[in-house]
Structure 1
Amino acid sequence: MKPPEGFHNSNPNLVCRLKKAIYGLKQAPRAWFGKLASTLVSFGFVSAKCDHSLFIHSTANSITYMLVYVDDILITGNNADFVQHVISTLNKIFPLKDLGELHYFLGIEAKSLNDGKLLLSQSKYASDLLHKLKMQDAKPVKTPLAPGCKFQSTGTEVAEDPSLYRSVVGALQYLTITRPDLAFTVNKLCQYMHRPLQSHWKIVKRVLQYINGTRDHGLLFEKSHNLHLIGYCDSDWASDQDDMRSTSGYCLFLGSNMISWMAKKQQVVSRSSTEAEYRSLAALVAETQWLKSLLT
């Protein structure tokens, strides 16, 4: 490790011995990840080409996955003895704390149910957001968006607190990790960050009302003998009244489990509904190819 700027050393040939990356340095995350990655590679793990934070150890009889986010690590596999061996070996190199079975990770709650089912949700994150905005007692509604609701950037009644709007919509974006039912509405709200109107803020409050009645909603994963990737896509046509661009949407299932979804405004104007549909299909195919490379 090179000495940090401002550190004067009479011998320019000396370097610092890196024991633990210092968070204050710009290169600290890179230095830490490089050290951890080289250690895992020495154990026989291989970094996935489509996601460098995913490490895979595969033999004829077992497979182990390790997902890294800074210094938080998830590890799973079909050989419990090898998983424990990896944990104990890592503990000798990096002091770590084994938290046991997965329950909470980066704001996402994991709950094991009967018959091997797994529920991923963000109920605590949603509750904290509602309490922060004093919306915990808001009357629940059945849909995040009212029927026939239109989004427009034209108007003179600007939101009272644009910074609050951006903060709340940003928080809602993180909530869409386990809530595909919010993806379309949140995507629309994100398009008005630069100049939110009072009408947009009213939609945000409706979304919060919807969340108040669906805090425990999430993604349910269950065992499936069918591991085929199945995708569905759709698109409207020129729905944006400001620039006449269309909105694409897709969802992908691995067996019976939804693992990927998207709602996004297209980058260019489509001259026909067919063209808009093909753009949506192209986005689905690109995501399918990425997931295919991740699974193989």
Structure 2
Amino acid sequence: MAKPVNAPMTSNCKLSKVGDEPVSDPTLYRSIVGALQYATVTRPDIAYSVKKVCQFLSNPLNSHWVAVKRILWYLQGTTSFDDRKSISRACIFLGPNLITWWSKKQTTISRSSTEAEYRSLALAAQEIMWVESLLKELQFAFYTPTIYCYNLSTVSMSYNPNKTLIVKHIPSTLQTADVLTKPLSSDKFLGFRQQLQVKDFFRLSNIEQSSSSSGGYIRD
């Protein structure tokens, strides 16, 4: 096991497309660099280094592989590090249909769970306003939008006397957006997956064919 390093890339590191032999296993190089790209979601401190090694995916050289290994050594020594930024997530439905969703890091560090949830709610409200404007342009009738939030303090802070947007409390056990940010029990995961309208294409196709041949209707 290599000794951990205190920086993902040295200050004098100059990577080039020439000047060294190709790596023996380019597929392994691309696989590891791809995994490192996902790691940058929670580790912005390696973003620059990963961006540099990504530039040589088409023809990685041994010098590029050395740079990748240094990033891995750095991560090995900083496994307990975290940027402490909360994750905003939301699922937006039009009736029973999921029309948009997201899960992303907040740009600033929140001092409490209430503040973190309030930021998430604000982002959701912005997205809902955009959807409202689109529906109005299409002359599509709709009811006052409702946002469901499990944090009671955030719900209290978000009281809107104009009723242009309704914010209601929902138990954390029923918060569908949790499927975007945390591991769940099988039962809860399957229930949330059903709410997100993620269904078996082959099963639906078989039901449709069966209904067509019998002259009936599809009911899932």
Shorter-chain TM band = 0.3 to 0.5
Structure with greater proportional strand content: 1
Structure with greater proportional helix content: 2
The structure showing larger relative contact order (alpha-carbon pairs under 8 Å, at least 6 residues apart) is 2
TM-score, structure 1 as length reference: 0.30
